[in-house]
Amino acid sequence: MKKAWLIMIAGLIATGCSSSSQPECIYNCTPTYPNNGNNNHGGGINTGNMTNEQAIKALMAYLATQAKKQWGDDEFLQAGKHRYVKYFDGYRTRAHIDFDSGKIYVSTVAQYAPEATLKKAIEETLLMPADPSQVDLFSDKSIPLNGKPFLLGQVKDHDNQDIQWPWRAGRFADYLIENKLRTKPLKRGTAYYVEIDMVSDHLEQREYQYADLIKRASRQYGISEDLIYAVVKTESSFNPFAVSHAGAYGLMQVIPKTAGADVFKLVKNKPGIPTKDYLFDPANNIDTGTAYLHILQTRYLRDVRNPTTKHYSMISAYNSGTGGVLSTFDSDRQRAMDKLNQLQPNQAYWALTNKHPKLEARRYLEKVLNFQKEFQSL
C-alpha cells in the first residue's frame, strides 16, 4: 500500500502541482483570509456595518468562492441546518457530517501528500470539541482539540471503541486510509476520501448531550420538554453547528434580529440582539429558542382561546412568525384572530398545513407534531 501511494504521489506531483519548487502546505497552514480585518470568525471579513443576514451571506459567499477554486462548482458543499461542513488546508480538505443519514465524509483534493492531509483532517473531525465557538465554519482555520469531543459516542473505531483521545483517533485514521480509502475523479483532478458510519443511535447520543439544558429551559418557561426536543430535531437534527442563509444559528435555529431581539427585550431586559457566538452556545441557544416559544404562547398568540389551536399556532409561528399564521386566515390581524377562534383545532390544523402562505411552514407544523409524538412516547 505504501509503495502504491509513493507512485501515486509522484505522478500527482509531476502532473498536478504548481511549477514552484516549494511544495504546497500539507496542513495547519496559515489560514486563508480575504483581508487583514480583526474579526476572529470568517477569515477576517469586516461585517461590522452589516445586518446579521447580510453578514452571514457575506461569510458564506466568501467561503463558497474560496472552496469552489479548489473543488469546482459541482463538488462544492456548504454547512447548513442538518449538515456540518468544515474546510481546512487552503480549502483543499473538508469534513462533511450528514446528520440525517448518519454519515461522515473526510475528503481532500490536495495534490501533495494527500494521505497525511487526510489523516490530520480525520483526527480533527473525530476530536473536534463540543463547544461550537471553537470551530470556525467560515474559514479554513484548524480546530483546537480540547475538551470533550462532540462526536464521542456517535462514532466507534474499528475495534468498536469510543474515540476520545488523540492516539485512538490517529490509529483509526491510519486504519481508514489503509483499508477504506476511495478516490473520485473531478474536473480538476482527483478527490481522496474516506466514509465513516456513525452509530445507529447517533441522534439519541446527541439528544443526551442537551437533556439537562432542555429540562432547565422547560421548567423556566413552561414549555413542554417534548416540544423543545421536537423543535430542535426539526430545526437541526441536534446539530449545534447549524447555520442557514437566513442568518439562523444553532440547535433551535434562532435568528438574532427577530426571535433573539424579542427575547432580549421582552424576557432578558437586555439591549440589542444576541451575537452569532452567543447563539452558537448550546445553553444560550436552547434558552433563547424556548423563551421565544414562551413569548409566542403568552404574548403574541395569547388571544387564541383553544389550547390545542394555540399549540398548533405557536409551532407554526416559530417557523414563519405570528404574521404568517394570522395571514392564513385573513389579511386583517383582528379578523384573522376572530376567524381562528371560531375554528375547531382540527380545522385550524388543516388551514395551517394547507393554506399557510409559505410551503415550508405548512410542512414544518406537521414535522414538529410528528416528532413531538415520538418524544412523548419515550
β-strand pairing of 83-88 with 182-186: unpaired
3-class secondary-structure state, position 365: helix
377 three-state secondary structure: coil
Strand order in the sheet with 189-197: 83-88, 93-98, 103-108, 189-197, 182-186
Give me the numbers of helices (H) and strands (E) for the chain, helices first please: 14, 5
The position carrying cell 514552484 is: 20
For the stretch 303-335, what's the b/e string if a residue is b when 16 or more beta carbons lie within 10 angstroms of its beta carbon? ebeeeebbbbbbbbbbbbbbebbbbbbeeeeee
- Amino acid letter at 253? Q
**328: helix, strand or coil:** coil
**93 closest CA partner among 80, 81, 77:** 77
Q: How many C-alpha atoms does 86 have within 13 Å on its Cβ side?
A: 23
Active site residue 235: yes
Residue from 195, 235, 366, 374 carrying the catalytic annotation? 235
Amino acid at 120: K
Please give the positions annotated as active site: 235
